[in-house]
Amino acid sequence: MSIWNRISDALKALRQGESLADVFDRLKTPPDRSVGFTIAVIALGAKMAKADGQGTRDEVAAFREVFQIAREDEREAARVFNLARQDVAGYEHYAQRIRNMFGDEIATLCDLMEGLFHIALADGAYHPGEDRFLRRVAQIFGLSGPQFAALRARFVPEDGMRDPYAVLGLAPDASREEARAAWRALVRETHPDRMVARGVPEEAIRLAERRMQDINRAWEEISERRA
Q: Give the pLDDT band (50/70/90) at residue 221.
A: very high
Of the candidates 90, 93, 95, 151, the one whose C-alpha atom is nearest the C-alpha of residue 126 is 151
Q: Give the pLDDT band (50/70/90) at residue 227.
A: low
pTM: 0.81
Residues 6+ apart with CB under 8 A from 91: 44, 47, 48, 133, 136, 137
* Mean pLDDT over the full length of the chain: 81
Is the pLDDT assigned to residue 206 strictly greater than 90? Answer: no
Tens of pLDDT, residues 22-76: 776 777 666 677 787 887 887 788 788 776 655 545 556 667 667 777 777 777 7
Residues 6+ apart with CB under 8 A from 217: 162, 164, 167
3-class DSSP state of 152: helix
Judge contact between 94 and 21, C-beta under 8 A: yes
Helix 106-120, helix 32-48: angle, nearest 10:
40
Longest CA pairwise span in the chain (Å): 63
What pLDDT, on the 0 to 100 scale, is given for residue 60? 60
What whole-number distance in Å separates Cα of residue 76 and Cα of residue 102?
A: 25
DSSP, res 15: G
Helix 128-141, helix 91-102: angle, nearest 10:
40
